[in-house]
Amino acid sequence: MYDYLIVGGGFAGCVIAERIASQLGKKVLIIDRRNHIAGNAHDYYDNNGILIHKYGPHIFHTSSKKVWDYLSNFTEWIPYEHTVMAVVNGKKVPVPFNLNSIEQVFPKKIASKYQALLLEKYGYGLKIPILKLLENKQEDLKVIADFIYQNIFYGYTLKQWGLKPEELDFSVTSRVPVFISHDNRYFQDTYQGIPEKGYTELFNKLIKNKNIEVLLNTDYKINSSSIKFNKLIYTGPIDEYFDYKFGKLPYRSLHFDFKTFKKEWFQEVAQVNYPNDFDYTRITEFKHFHRQKTKATTVAFEFPQEFELGKNEPYYPIQNVSNNDLYNRYKKESEKLKNTIFVGRLAEYKYYNMDQIVGVALMKFDKEIAK
Ligand code: FAD
Ligand code: UDP
């Protein structure tokens, strides 16, 4: 008999398991239907000895000291600050689109004019969501806003979501604002890094406790009746838990095409985005994260796809008004259940980053489990 059954061995499930096992001394069983732990943060070494992020580039960044300190109990960090370039008219420009990007895409005089206008209107260091920038009435600001919208956001968003930026929740494109700055980093958080020995190793440390057992290749829907437990922590898709009784929540999926090249480097930064060309959105070259010295290099081309049950994985909740409304119906239903906690990107239908889900998991433990 387990005190807790935890469905899902990603950040949400494993952080809560660690807390319950270490702080309450209770018995936990984690099940995951995949053949590995770490959820979408899972990484592994390929045949060339390159550490691959199986589900796309995962860069840890947070401004929460609490989250950083907590995870630092289980890993050392390689300092790493993500830089991303987007190909615009054949040139690679920094993303988030910033004052340096302007210099790359416009002749000097025009670039200076746009830089001065943006600095005057917003001031150095400000971040403006593209949909906000587009609201400008001033003619020149409208021109630069339209340029950025068309060349950075429109094509990428259409590929990534099958929707235009304005058809998604404002928060989605706001993740990558226009940045009135010469800072080329993708994130400005206080703490940034990659686990020194990789994410999977971090997870191995998290769950190394005599009170935690793990069963892989084990689906909750198929196996729950044969497991004896008191309380449930569920981190899978919330619509699936309720057998889709209000309808399916839409998710976006991806296909990763991994290719190895017999050369030292493929591209100058870990991530290059292609908003305007090709069917893929971005190419990730994994060696950059750990600055590995190998003769070959492995990259992933990322092709967005519709999520189809049983065919591919539900990677992204698609945040817009109607989908969020549908989620809220499931949430209400979940609140009626005793001894069951829903937590995680899929269970809460939220576009969480890793640090956010660690923060939420720690908070749920404090407020709802340890209380
Ligand atoms: P998951 O990691 O999805 O874990 C849920 C687990 O539950 C899965 O392993 C699944 O197999 C299991 N499960 C589901 N249903 C069942 C069931 N019925 N039975 C058994 N097991 C089940 N975040 C960042 O901070 N930085 C990044 O750079 C970043 N890049 C990303 C890139 C991509 C392409 C994606 C998709 C996500 C990225 N993220 C990034 C987000 C990050 O992956 C998530 O925040 C984090 O993994 C969420 O953890 P979780 O535990 O909620 O969910
Ligand atoms: N985005 C874009 N062009 C870019 C980068 C991002 O249009 O070059 C938009 C796009 O809608 C994307 C969203 O901003 O889905 C969030 O980007 P982020 O890099 O945070 O996506 P993730 O890494 O989570 O896939």
Q: Which atom of ligand 1 is nearest to the CA of 40?
A: 2
Does 98 fall in a domain?
yes
16 lies in a domain? yes
The answer as to whether 185 is a domain residue is no
Q: Indicate if 203 and 333 belong to the same structural domain.
A: yes
Domain finish residue from 136, 155, 179: 179
CATH code at 360? 3.40.50.720
Best CA proximity match to 312, nearest among 8, 40, 50: 40
| Together in a domain, 111 and 247 | no
Among protein residues, the one with the nearest Cα to ligand 1's atom 10 is: 8
Q: How many CA within 13 A on the CB side of residue 145? A: 18
Identify whether residues 301 and 261 lie together within a single domain: yes
Kindly state whether residues 73 and 220 are assigned to the same domain.
yes
Kindly report the protein residue whose alpha carbon is nearest to atom 10 of ligand 2. Answer: 157
Q: Calculate the alpha carbon distances from 91 to 11, 88, 147, 366 in Å.
A: 37, 5, 15, 49
The DSSP secondary structure of 155-179, one letter per residue, reads: HHHHHHHSS-GGGS-HHHHHTS-EE
Tell me, yes or no, whether 204 and 321 share the same domain. yes
Tell me whether residue 349 is in a domain: yes
Which ligand 1 atom is at minimum distance from the Cα of 219?
Answer: 19
Could you tell me if residue 188 is inside a domain? no
Q: What is the C-alpha to C-alpha distance for residues 43 and 28, in angstroms, rounded to an integer?
A: 24
User: Could you tell me if residue 184 is inside a domain?
Assistant: no
In a domain, 339, yes or no: yes
* CA 163 to centroid of ligand 2, rounded, Å: 13
Q: Which of 179, 204, 232 is the last residue of a domain?
A: 179
Per-residue confidence in pLDDT tens, the chain, 371 aa: 999 999 999 999 999 999 999 999 999 999 999 999 999 999 999 999 999 999 999 999 999 999 999 999 999 999 999 999 999 999 999 999 999 999 999 999 999 999 999 999 999 999 999 999 999 999 999 999 999 999 999 999 999 999 999 999 999 999 999 999 999 999 999 999 999 999 999 999 999 999 999 999 999 999 989 999 999 999 999 999 999 999 999 999 999 999 999 999 999 999 999 999 999 999 999 999 999 999 999 999 999 999 999 999 999 999 999 999 999 999 999 999 999 999 999 999 999 999 999 999 999 999 999 98
Do 319 and 172 contact (CB within 8 A), yes or no? yes
60, 93, 152, 156: residue to mutate for ligand 2 pocket, most atoms within 8 A of CB:
156
* pLDDT value for 371: 82
**Do 231 and 334 reside in the same domain of the chain?**
yes
- Which of 131, 147, 179 finishes a domain? 179
Same domain as 230, residue 107: no
Number of CB atoms found within 10 A of residue 108's CB? 8
Asked if 263 and 353 sit in the same domain, the reply is no
The continuous run of DSSP H or E covering 119 comes out as helix 108-122
Q: Which atom of ligand 1 is nearest to the CA of 343?
A: 52
Say how many domains are in the chain.
3
- 86 CA: nearest ligand 2 atom: 8
Q: Which contiguous run of DSSP H or E holds residue 191?
A: strand 191-195
Per-residue pLDDT at 17: 98
Query: What is the CB < 6 Å shell around ligand 1?
Result: 7-13, 31-34, 39-41, 55-59, 219-221, 235-236, 254, 315, 344-346, 352-355, 357
Residues 242 and 295 both lie in one domain: no
- Residue 134 alpha carbon to ligand 2 centre in Å: 17
H-type alpha helices, 2-107: 11-19, 65-71, 99-105
**Residue 360: phi, psi to the nearest 5?**
-65, -40
What local confidence, expressed as pLDDT, does residue 24 receive?
98
Identify whether 66 is part of a domain.
yes
Nearest CA to ligand 2 atom 19: 176
Domain around 31:
2-82+194-251+316-369
Residues 88 and 175 in one domain: yes
Q: Which atom of ligand 1 is nearest to the CA of 348?
A: 52
Residues 215 and 352 in one domain: yes
- Say if residue 247 is in the same domain as residue 264: no
Asked if 22 and 150 touch (Cβ cutoff 8 Å), the reply is no
281 CA distance to ligand 2 middle (Å): 9
b/e 51-82 (16+ beta carbons within 10 angstroms → b):
bbbbbebbbbbbebeebbebbeebbebeebeb
Task: Look up residue 249 and give its DSSP letter.
Answer: P
